[in-house]
Amino acid sequence: MPTLFSKIIAREIPADIVYEDEMCLAFRDINPQAPVHVLLIPKQEIPKLADAAAPDQALLGHMMLAAGKVARQLGVGDAFRLVINNGAEAGQTVFHLHLHILAGRPLHWPPG
């Protein structure tokens, strides 16, 4: 069954897309937790990070580099946080791997 994010990739559901390349897509979160809150998703469906396998290594590395590009594009440069929730108990609600790019306010440690 297609996920919400698969439908965004297919353009079946609208999203405020801020970045796209051949492997991933980034769009603004509809429930932002910071002034800048963007979700970066792979176009290949991987339900959660723990489901990734050795063949996904290049895609995962690409996403980390893309996160930096998105941050620079949005003007937050080197002051951002990446979050990956893995599984329902960790707060994952859409089971299509995604990185949260958060910025634009002080991000304290430990996260809440």
Q: Which residues pair with 42 in a beta bridge?
A: 24
Q: What is the mean pLDDT of the chain?
A: 96
Specify the DSSP element, H or E, that contains 9.
helix 4-9
Instruction: Give per-residue pLDDT as tens, 78-93.
Output: 899 999 999 999 999 9
Percent of the chain at pLDDT above 90? Answer: 92
Catalytic pick among 37, 62, 98, 100? 98
Give 111's pLDDT tier (boundaries 50, 70, 90).
confident
Q: Could you read off the pLDDT of 21-37 as tens digits, one per residue? A: 999 999 999 999 999 99
* Whether pLDDT at 112 is above 90: no
Instruction: Name which of 89, 73, 82, 77 is nearest 40 in CA terms.
Output: 82
In the chain, the domains with their CATH numbers are 4-103 (3.30.428.10)
CA gap 54, 112 in Å, rounded:
31
pLDDT-based confidence at residue 110 (cuts at 50, 70, 90): confident
| pLDDT tens by residue, 36-48 | 999 999 999 999 9
DSSP class of residue 47?
A: S
Is-contact 96 41, C-beta < 8 A? yes
Residue 108 catalytic? no
